[in-house]
Structure 1
Amino acid sequence: MLTGCQSTPESPQYVVAVPFAAPLPSDYRSEVAIARYSELIEQAELANDQQALLYYDRGKLFDSLGLSTLARIDFSRAVNLKPDLAEVYNFLGIHHTLMQQYGKAYEMFDSVLELNSEHQYAYLNRGIALYYGDRPGLAIDDLQSFLNFAPDDPYRVLWVYLAQQAQDPKQAKANLDAMAQALDPQNWAYQLVAFYKGDISEKVLLESLPKGVESHQEYAERLCEAYFYLAKHHQALGHMSLASDYLKLALSTNVYEFVEYKYARLELDIMAGEGAL
């Protein structure tokens, strides 16, 4: 059972039955690949470009295993050796966002877009950095640009909604209804949008999580996403204890590569800093 206790009469105690899954284990293949990259870096005489790519590839593997400090070190090495690697700046921007170093994060994402103006995920990640940096207007612009690349993606719709909600909740709800018209109701992630629209209850959303799942990894990924967006919903309602519990559940999945996992930790750090926990 997931419990969230609120002390005021208008904020009742919540007791919600939630689905669980075992945390994803570390991928041994990634660990073996890291060892191989390390041998190549240490033993081979490589040109700067080749060495940069090895650091970048090893950094991605560290990131996928949740080893953020080691990943950040490798990404920094890569960009020092080859300053035109757009994807490295994107990863560095994410890491600066997670450390709440928003100015540096904006610089990294700006560098990505200077090198490649069509880099979709730079718009997403800069938009998220702007959202957490309390600049919702600019965040909306970037997240809308990200949505424009794929208007039928429910996750892109949700991030636009979250940014708009921070600026004007009533207008955000109207815009969500309009954006949802481009979505496929058969896509499982549509259930998240339907929940935010008020078309389905939290109980129905939770019950939908196992449906159509074909692997443990897929189930853990779905749980990570659902827990994060449920946390954001309750956070907006002022249910901080329940939001915190959902964020911790998102982290318990070990889906390190997902946006929802990464920013669940940032959300908890921000809530703790604000005394909301």
Structure 2
Amino acid sequence: MKAQFFSLSAIVLSIAVAELATFPAWGIPFEEIPVHRYVAHYDIDELEGVEKVIRANPNDANAYMHRGMIRSHSQEDFPGAIADFSRVIELDPNRAEAYNYRGTSYFWLKKFRQALEDYNQAIRLDPKLTIAYYNRGYVRIELGDKKGAIADFRQGAALSKQEGDMMSYEQALEIIQGLEQFQKPD
């Protein structure tokens, strides 16, 4: 029996690694991914309230972060989400989560180099931001850097284990195993 592997195209990067088991094979077409099923949902009705906060205080980084999450997770408006996360970064350049989420929006637009840059920055700012390692690993797969992806999944697994998140830890190990089986010798 062949081991199961996970398609990068089938993974929503800002969610818990726990959802990886729902995609049992490589190669699900990017356009067929049911994003709404696998991402944390933000109530679209919250959008009006968040926009009122932004109008009242255009320097409220938290409001832009919240709107960016609504745009990316509920509306799949990735360019709008990028604009909001960029505003958060402008207001609070040390906010690692904003880089991580903006990277995810770039990922969905297939702008893998920009996503990689954002994940690198998120990790520089917060070396314990576990999801950023997993996200960067997925982008590295898309960019053909399986060794780098394996290293990121190993680091993510180590952090997951430290956090007591054994489900993510075990799933990361499965991904590493799958990547190693596909690793071409240098």
Q: What TM-score, normalized to structure 2?
A: 0.67
Measure the CA separation in 2 of the matches of 1:58 and 1:162. Answer: 36
Measure the CA separation in 2 of the matches of 1:34 and 1:71. Answer: 12
Deviation, structure 1 residue 60 = 0.9
Deviation, structure 1 residue 28 = 9.5
Q: Could you report, residue by residue, the CA deviation over 1:199-235 in whole angstroms, capped at 9, with x for unpaired residues?
A: xxxxxxxxxxxxxxxxxxxxxxxxxxxxxxxxxxxxx
The match for 1:33 is 46
The match for 1:149 is 159
> Structure 2, unaligned stretches of length 5 or more?
1-35
- Is 1:63 aligned to residue 63 of structure 2? no
Deviation, structure 1 residue 52 = 1.4
3-state SS of paired residue (1:150): helix
Q: CA RMSD in A?
A: 2.5
Q: Cα–Cα, structure 1 residues 28 and 95, in superposed 2: closer, same or farther, change >3 Å?
A: closer
| Seq. identity, % | 23
Measure the CA separation in 2 of the matches of 1:60 and 1:165. Answer: 35
8 Å Cα contact 2:100-2:119 kept in structure 1: yes
The match for 1:158 is 174
The match for 2:138 is 128
Measure the CA separation in 2 of the matches of 1:96 and 1:164. Answer: 26
Measure the CA separation in 2 of the matches of 1:158 and 1:68. Answer: 30
Deviation, structure 1 residue 168 = 5.1
Deviation, structure 1 residue 161 = 2.9
Query: How many residues align structurally?
Result: 141
Q: Could you report, residue by residue, the CA deviation over 1:147-171 in whole angstroms, capped at 9, with x for unpaired residues?
A: 12235324323332343233159xx
Measure the CA separation in 2 of the matches of 1:35 and 1:168. Answer: 50
Q: Cα–Cα, structure 1 residues 29 and 114, in superposed 2: closer, same or farther, change >3 Å?
A: closer
Q: Cα–Cα, structure 1 residues 147 and 125, in superposed 2: closer, same or farther, change >3 Å?
A: same
Q: Which residue identity lines up with residue 52 of structure 1 in the other structure?
A: A
Q: Which residue identity lines up with residue 165 of structure 1 in the other structure?
A: Q
Which of the pair has more CA radius of gyration?
A: 1
Q: Which residue identity lines up with residue 98 of structure 1 in the other structure?
A: W
Q: Could you report, residue by residue, the CA deviation over 1:19-51 in whole angstroms, capped at 9, with x for unpaired residues?
A: xxxx86xx9971121110001111x146x3xx1
Q: Which residue identity lines up with residue 83 of structure 1 in the other structure?
A: P
Deviation, structure 1 residue 97 = 2.5
What is the 5 A alignment of 1:1-277? Answer: 30-42=43-55, 44-45=56-57, 48=59, 51-65=60-74, 66-151=76-161, 152-153=166-167, 154-167=170-183
Q: Which residue identity lines up with residue 52 of structure 2 in the other structure?
A: E
Q: Which residue identity lines up with residue 57 of structure 1 in the other structure?
A: H
The match for 1:4 is none
3-state SS of paired residue (2:43): helix
